Amino acid sequence: MRAVLRASILLLVAGCTRPVLYYPPGVPRRDLPIPPGSSSAASSASAPVTLGTAAVVEPAGHALTADAAAAAEYLLERHIMMPVAGADPAKLYDSFDDARDGGRTHHAIDILAPRDTPILAADDGRVLRMSSNNLGGITMYTIDSNGLLVYYYAHMDHYNDEMTPGRTIVKGDTLGYVGTTGNAPKDTPHLHFQVMRWPADGKYWDGEPIDPYEALKAAER
């Protein structure tokens, strides 16, 4: 696969009385929008990155753009880790295209596990944002070490106290614990795991979704 452009990410530590900014060297200090409905005020910035185009066969049932197809290929090359401790990849169900209330499409994989099961970092990178909203409940966004993919973990019961926005993470780090916050059924604790391509406009919470099913099936446990 062709060389991937690297991007540095500007992170604001959320929830502090005096905001603390994380500015990697050489990154322009440009504000980006805040995810709508978020309960904490934080901003982040980054130079836009793209994956370019790739001649790939689109999986049946998914209308991927060339860039998203390249991102799906890149996701496989990341060799991500199963993000729920003890979860069996063979038991996963591909709910990526399933319908949800309000006319939404799921665009994620639900991984069922007992409440308080550790949620693990699927990839190396950094914590991008920690916040809560009505749908996802207690959530975390992380970004891979090349600044190309955003990972969204939702319905957490609570965070690992050691996690903060801007923190460097490696595969297997405990991010939080499985729960039912947000709109999750209260008797079905699970992790809502979503992968998105980092968008050119910097609205990382609204990047183009990538089905992580195949990458999870091949994931390390």
pLDDT band at residue 169 under the 50/70/90 scheme: very high
Whole-model pTM? 0.72
Two tokens at 112?
A: 């069922």
- Give me the pLDDT at residue 200, please: 85
> Of 199, 186, 191, which is closest to residue 174 (Cα–Cα)?
191
Mean pLDDT of the chain: 74
At the top level of CATH, the class of 51-217 is mainly beta
- Give me the pLDDT at residue 103, please: 66
Cα within 13 Å of Cα(40), Cβ side: 19
175-204 pLDDT, tens digit per residue, is: 999 999 998 989 999 999 999 988 888 888
80-126 pLDDT, tens digit per residue, is: 999 999 998 888 877 765 666 666 666 889 999 999 999 999 999 99
pLDDT exceeds cutoff 50 at 24: no
Average pLDDT over residues 56-85: 74
pLDDT exceeds cutoff 60 at 6: no
Of 40-49, 72-81, 187-196, the poorest mean pLDDT is in: 40-49
Long-range contacts of 92-101, Cβ-Cβ distance < 8 Å, separation of 24 or more: 92/213, 92/216, 92/217, 94/211, 94/213, 96/62, 96/209, 96/211, 96/212, 96/213, 97/61, 97/62, 97/211
